[in-house]
A and B are shown apart, each in its own frame.
Chain A
Amino acid sequence: MIDNPKTGMTLIVKTITRLTVGLIMLFGIYIILHGHVSPGGGFAGGVIVALSFVHLMLAFGKDTAIARISKNMASNLESIGAMMFLFIALLGFLGGSFFLNVFAKGSPFDLFSAGTIPLSNIAIGIKVGVGLFAIFLALVVLERSK
């Protein structure tokens, strides 16, 4: 399916996309994981991850992207991200109050520091990335079904 010349854009775009799309997604994951030590965070990184899937869909057509993440899976993952964020919020009750940072803080500038903040970033990253891709997917499906 990936080399089908009838779907998607030209061979040049497909070849460049095959090289870059992994790097774009990796950059998004980097921004999510380093949200507490450098600019960025769950929202910006999640949008970059969603953009990598949008990139895939624009270059290879709708079916290749849906084979990676279907609409139901996107919807489920979005709910899982929301539940994770809520669970982290409820985890604060271990220390006494909602959204309390209960884990060890670690030393500043480390990747594994800041308690629950990286976990919240990951939850928001999953939620935003998959959610925005689901919106894009729904809009494209609407256009095809007319």
Chain B
Amino acid sequence: MELHILLIFMIFAAIVAIEVKDLLSSVIAVGAVGFALCLAFLVLKAPDLAITQLVVEILCLIILIRATINKDLPLVIEGRWVFNTVSTLGFIAVFLLFSWLALKELPGFGEPIMAVVKKYLQEGVSKTGAVNIVTAVILDFRAYDTLGEATVLFASVIGIMAILRRPGRKKRE
């Protein structure tokens, strides 16, 4: 029940974020979607994800506001709207078709298959000593994935530092 209210609120906030004219209001509406998602994680009993979602949402909101507050990007509406509408509808149809094909194969909501997870849940505490099973999975059983994630963040920071550094920008002008 709470989940449905949150989902309807998220859809409503997302539509507001698209339709509103002011860029700052749009960013704040995206923030509202993020906070509703955080509450949805809490309802689904995932406090780890809820904390991460909340703090990342705040940081991203500040960065987005900081980056957009001085320049109002123009919205391009005119042009070949018939072609645009038809291609958008076509892509929506393709997306819905493939998602229908894919979602048919998934197990029902709340009925996990528990093939690998069962082992983690049973032996998590005795094998790693960590009480928080999420941390035990991401830093012990699946630490290799976490190393990949850390590499992605490292590469993005290096890329931003390289593109936005001052001497490089001055030389080009």
Is the CB–CB distance between A37 and B51 below 8 Å?
A: no
Interface pair B131/A142, CB less than 8 Å apart: no
Q: A26 interface residue, CB < 8 Å from B?
A: no
Q: Select from chain B the residue with minimum beta-carbon distance to A54.
A: B62
Q: Any chain B CB within 8 A of the CB of A96?
A: no
A35 within 8 A of B: yes
Interface on chain B toward A: helix, strand, loop, or mixed SS? helix
List B50-99 residues whose CB lies under 8 Å from chain A. Answer: 50-52, 55-56, 58-59, 62-63, 66-67, 70
Query: Is there contact, CB below 8 Å, between A43 and B131?
Result: no
Is A98 among interface residues, defined by CB-CB distance under 8 A? yes
Q: Which of B97-144 contact A (CB under 8 A)?
A: 125, 127-132, 134-136, 138-140, 143-144
DSSP class of A's interface residues: helix, strand, loop or mixed? helix
Any A CB within 8 A of the CB of B147: yes
What 1/0 flags go to A19-50 for Cβ under 8 Å of B? 00000000000010001111111111001101
A140 at the interface (CB under 8 A from B): yes
21 contacts between A and B (CB under 8 A): A50-B59, A54-B59, A71-B161, A78-B157, A82-B154, A89-B147, A98-B144, A99-B140, A108-B131, A113-B129, A114-B130, A117-B129, A117-B135, A124-B150, A127-B150, A128-B153, A131-B154, A139-B66, A140-B66, A141-B164, A141-B166
Within the assembled complex, what's the spacing in Å between the Cα atoms of A143 and B169? 12
Contact size range, B: 35 or more
Q: How many residues of A contact B (CB 8 A)?
A: 55
8 residue pairs, one from A and one from B, having the closest CB atoms: A105-B129, A39-B47, A36-B130, A114-B130, A114-B129, A99-B143, A47-B55, A138-B164
Q: How far is the CA of A106 from the CA of B126 in the complex (A)?
A: 10
Choose one: B47, B63, B147, B151; the contact of A136 (CB below 8 Å): B63
Contact of B56 among A40, A47, A107, A143 (CB under 8 A): A47
Give 18 A-B pairs besides A44-B51, A47-B55 with Cβ atoms closer than 8 angstroms.
A31-B51, A36-B132, A36-B139, A38-B132, A39-B132, A47-B56, A51-B58, A71-B161, A85-B150, A99-B144, A109-B131, A114-B135, A115-B128, A124-B150, A135-B160, A139-B66, A139-B67, A143-B70
